Structure 1
Amino acid sequence: MNVQQRLPYQNEDIPVRPQQDSDDEEEALVNDYREQVQFDDGMSDLERTTSLGAGQQAQDIQAQLTAAATPLDYQATLETKFASYDNYCSLFHYILNSDGPVELEVPSYYWAWDVIDEFIYQFNSFCSYRHRIARKGENDEEKQLLRENPNTWGCYSVLNVLYSLIQRSQINDQLAAIKRGEDPAAVAGEYGSRPLYRMLGYFSIIGLLRVHCLLGDFALALKTLDDIELNKKAMFARVMAAHFTTYYYVGFSYMMMRRYSDAIRMFSHILIYVSRTKNFQKNAQYDSISKKNDQMYALIAICVALQPTRLDDTIHSALREKYGEQFLRMQRGGPEALPIFEELFRSACPKFISPVPPDFDNPELNVDPIDHHCAIFMDEVKANIWSPTVKSYLKLYTTMDLNKLAGFLEVEPEKLRGWLLVNKQRSRQVRWSEGGLLDGDIVNASDLDYAMQGDLIHISEAKVGRRLVDWYLRNLARAY
């Protein structure tokens, strides 16, 4: 038999996940979003917000609230970006440091998400812009201005705001009380009982997930969600953009921690959800997430290539349509797949930022954060690049001589021995089922198992087939 014909997961052999039993729950989530769209149709402008009362101060704060949720123009000048930072500082200082809770009536939790989302977006774009100026040094005037203001849009300032909003609102204590079946009002305090603080605090948790991921601390990013349950009852699931952002960054963090099964489950959830809601999404909102939707397909293609997994037929069809031959080459492995992995990673990863200001005097010392994380990821890909080829040979035998396999692969026997041992260890992954997102059980994620005795390799089908499928379907339904 031709070994090439036995390469795993060829185009016609990619397994398709059967229809799940969670359609009712998924439909309920879709209906929740439909209600959100209908509710928001009349609330697109903050001018329709209930009056906050008389007084110049209330009017000023209302203007700041409106500005905080308004996207900054893409072509905004550097002076405008500095002014926007000052406005955010002024607003958050007023909210956090006033004598007692601020009595402000906010439009809805959609507004609270827009404020936190725009705040982090401007922070991310400013850091990327500053790094680009430091490396190219084309505009001396802007370069000097940035050098003289290293703390503007600094990581410490942004993290301080998010953590302060969470602490003021006691939102983690409230969420923990809800999980225990207790009354959250008992631990909310005078600040957390106000909708303004409660909503800003809640979405600041999602904001921390995003910022820590942008900074490259993926474990801490997942740790921030310990008190939020990823299900359709969560508040973030009521806001499409928040729902999408949460699963994107959770899935990406899992991928960078080599927990591919968990990453695939997160990406699958949100991609199926988007496919069911796209017919009645508002155009402006759908356009804002369409790019991230494409990025998620690229990321799930990477994860499935590194760890073959059953997929929903909708996602499977979309992957074949979007990537076709590229997807097959990634699954086959080998050196020719490396450029595809790198291309998809760069197109789909977040816009990473450095936690410290760049060195304007020595541009060559400024490492691009995206290049840095891409190099780390590609090291992992290179360590697994021969896995599909090796598995295709091992599946033909129950016992095989190490030297014979090394001859097939044209590598040194001892080098192959080291690779087999490392690959066997990598096949054991932590898989989440309940508790915090960092928790989980250690399972064998491969469909092939082997043991080495001297120069003999004993091969067997891993006893995970049906149990893995059942586990995957059960937890995907729970996530819905």
Structure 2
Amino acid sequence: MSVRQAPTYQQGAPERPIDDDSDVEEEALANDYREQVGYRDGEDYDLDQHMSVGGGPQDLQAQLQAAATPLEYQATIETKIQSYDSYCNLFHFILNSEGPVDIEVPSYYWAWDVIDEFIYQFNSFCSFRQRLAFNQTTTQVNEDEIAVLRENPNTWGCYSVLNVLYSLIQRSQISEQLAARKRGEDPAPYAGEYGSRSLYQMLGYFSIIGLLRVHCLLGDFSLALKTLDDIELNKKAMFARVMAANFTTYYYIGFSYMMMHRYADALRSFNHILIYVSRTKNFQKGAQYDSITKKNDQMYALVAICVAFYPQRLDDTIHTALREKYGEQLTRMQRGGPEALPIFEELFRAACPKFISPTPPDFDQPHLNIDPVEHQLSIFMEEVKNNMYSPTVRSYLKLYTTMDLTKLAGFLEVDADTLRSWLLVNKQRSRQVRHSEGPLLEGDVVNSSDLDYAMQGDMIHVSEAKVGRRLVDWYLRNLARTY
């Protein structure tokens, strides 16, 4: 998921005092967003005005501008490889120079554009390489492209990209600085020689967001969430001031939660960013508006999936938009049964990231290659199949306080053992880990269903689920908390 646009650099936005619980904060974020889309005419940023490095064997100014500029959609494979080499040279220079590179960074918008475009090109190249491997033909054009890929197996390699992101984080010591801020300490003593420079600090910061994205693309959702341990998810955060970074962060957090079956946390992430987008839609225009609109629709598809698994009340704005976009599909998914499976698959394909494989494909034995998108889809659909009869089972259980397992199996036209497995799965899924504070992987185990039951032999005993003390504590802690 990448919200891409040609970079429009603004004069570095001043730090604004932000109050999490006031409308002043929303206005501050809106002002930041106006700057990003060039809301006021005549404010385009000139990178050359802020460069303090002279000429040399490396044209650093040109490299910095190119690093934040989207590659042409129809770029040739040679151009993609050349772009990879350019990024390697740029990051090698920044990371391995004798002392920090003395450059005045234009703004955090520029720093995000560099990391965003770097990962976007990596993702696009991997997807392109996978398509060639899965759909090899006898045409001369494809044979030439495959020959080039064979000669450059390490181009846009997963290890190289992760190495760059981790190196930027380590060199900037941004994790130590963020941890110090969370403890209420001055981060300056932890910054070191490199981390005190804005170039390293900003690139390191957005590299953390980049790691969230890359690990999610690779299918490691728990590691993706763990990368954000040092970043506080509030509107004071740097990523929240850059619309594309804000959108990307909450998309991948929400998607990771969804794949880990933590639907309440996923919905909270999606709702947060969708409400923000709805409040800033009047400022959106041009190519970025079209891109955000498309990504918005994808996120609403994920909201529909999560609501089907975990029904809950949504914000009125989100609820109205969801019904307009996916009302019919949502109704069919909530009804459950085999006829709901194609809807889940359709929405997942439309809204999931473009997953990639950590290793290059085998062009000699294409039948051995695994499509990462199909692999993640199969994992997701197993969860759907395990839960597809849950709505029907719940509708019957709500009518009884005690019911014979065999009788209910007859109503559902399945054998008793199959029904027993459904009930066990549904019982387990009703208890979810829900995040309240601290690292994103942590949380309290709460009962997410209003219906509880127990099985004793062939008898099912049904009761209204009682909200436990831990759930009450969770609600009290989060009553005034904004995610």
Amino acid at match of 1:113: W
Name 1:256's counterpart in structure 2. 259
Name 1:35's counterpart in structure 2. 31
Q: Does structure 1 conserve the Cα–Cα contact (< 8 Å) formed by 2:123 and 2:356?
A: yes
Instruction: Give the deviation of 1:473 after TM superposition.
Output: 9.2
Instruction: Give the deviation of 1:44 after TM superposition.
Output: 6.7
Name 1:102's counterpart in structure 2. 101
Amino acid at match of 1:134: A
Unpaired segments ≥5 residues, structure 1:
1-22
Q: Does structure 2 conserve the Cα–Cα contact (< 8 Å) formed by 1:30 and 1:277?
A: no
Name 1:396's counterpart in structure 2. 399
Name 1:440's counterpart in structure 2. 443
Q: Does structure 2 conserve the Cα–Cα contact (< 8 Å) formed by 1:225 and 1:436?
A: yes
Q: Percent identity?
A: 76
Q: TM-score, normalised by structure 2?
A: 0.91
Write the mapping of 1:218-233 to structure 2, written as runs, cut at 5 A.
218-233=221-236
Amino acid at match of 2:46: E
Q: Distance in 1 between matches of 2:101 and 2:435?
A: 40
Amino acid at match of 1:448: L
| Residues 54 and 227 of structure 1, relative CA distance in 2, 3 Å threshold | closer
Q: Does structure 2 conserve the Cα–Cα contact (< 8 Å) formed by 1:46 and 1:66?
A: no
Amino acid at match of 1:144: A
Q: Return the match for 2:185 from 182, 186, 189.
A: 182
Q: What are the superposed Cα offsets for residues 29-51 of structure 1, whole Å, 9 maximum, x if unpaired?
A: 43123221344437875535424
Instruction: Give the deviation of 1:417 after TM superposition.
Output: 1.6
Q: Distance in 2 between matches of 1:302 and 1:29?
A: 31
Name 2:16's counterpart in structure 1. none
Q: Does 1:310 align with 2:313?
A: yes
Q: Return the match for 2:388 from 385, 410, 422.
A: 385
| Residues 473 and 38 of structure 1, relative CA distance in 2, 3 Å threshold | farther
Write the mapping of 1:312-327 to structure 2, written as runs, cut at 5 A.
312-327=315-330
Amino acid at match of 2:127: S
| Residues 49 and 471 of structure 1, relative CA distance in 2, 3 Å threshold | farther
What secondary structure sits across from 1:479 in the alignment? coil
Instruction: Give the deviation of 1:54 after TM superposition.
Output: 6.3
Instruction: Give the deviation of 1:65 after TM superposition.
Output: 0.3
Amino acid at match of 1:25: D
Name 1:423's counterpart in structure 2. 426
Name 1:17's counterpart in structure 2. none
Name 2:275's counterpart in structure 1. 272
Q: What are the superposed Cα offsets for residues 342-362 of structure 1, whole Å, 9 maximum, x if unpaired?
A: 000000000000000000011
Q: Distance in 2 between matches of 1:477 and 1:299?
A: 26
Q: Does structure 2 conserve the Cα–Cα contact (< 8 Å) formed by 1:310 and 1:469?
A: no
| Residues 358 and 45 of structure 1, relative CA distance in 2, 3 Å threshold | farther
Amino acid at match of 1:382: K
Q: Distance in 1 between matches of 2:180 and 2:276?
A: 29
Query: Which deviates the most, 468-477 or 158-167?
Result: 468-477
Amino acid at match of 2:264: S
Q: Does structure 1 conserve the Cα–Cα contact (< 8 Å) formed by 2:50 and 2:105?
A: no
Q: What are the superposed Cα offsets for residues 274-302 of structure 1, whole Å, 9 maximum, x if unpaired?
A: 11110123433322322211111000100
Name 2:378's counterpart in structure 1. 375
Q: Distance in 2 between matches of 1:273 and 1:364?
A: 45
Q: Distance in 1 between matches of 2:242 and 2:412?
A: 51
The two structures, once aligned, show a CA RMSD in angstroms of 2.1
Q: Distance in 1 between matches of 2:469 and 2:268?
A: 17
Q: Distance in 1 between matches of 2:316 and 2:226?
A: 32
| Residues 44 and 65 of structure 1, relative CA distance in 2, 3 Å threshold | farther
Q: Distance in 2 between matches of 1:450 and 1:340?
A: 29
Q: Distance in 1 between matches of 2:417 and 2:243?
A: 52
Query: Which deviates the most, 45-54 or 347-356?
Result: 45-54
Q: Return the match for 2:301 from 294, 298, 301.
A: 298
Q: Does structure 1 conserve the Cα–Cα contact (< 8 Å) formed by 2:115 and 2:206?
A: yes
What secondary structure sits across from 1:457 in the alignment? strand
Query: Which deviates the most, 410-419 or 84-93?
Result: 410-419
Instruction: Give the deviation of 1:26 after TM superposition.
Output: 7.0
Q: Return the match for 1:346 from 322, 341, 349.
A: 349
Q: Name the count of aligned residue pairs.
A: 458
Q: Return the match for 2:359 from 352, 356, 368.
A: 356
Name 1:463's counterpart in structure 2. 466
Q: Does structure 2 conserve the Cα–Cα contact (< 8 Å) formed by 1:447 and 1:462?
A: yes
Q: Distance in 2 between matches of 1:270 and 1:474?
A: 21
Write the mapping of 1:46-57 to structure 2, written as runs, cut at 5 A.
46-53=45-52, 55-57=54-56
Q: Does structure 2 conserve the Cα–Cα contact (< 8 Å) formed by 1:33 and 1:240?
A: no
Q: TM-score, normalised by structure 1?
A: 0.91
Instruction: Give the deviation of 1:106 after TM superposition.
Output: 1.4
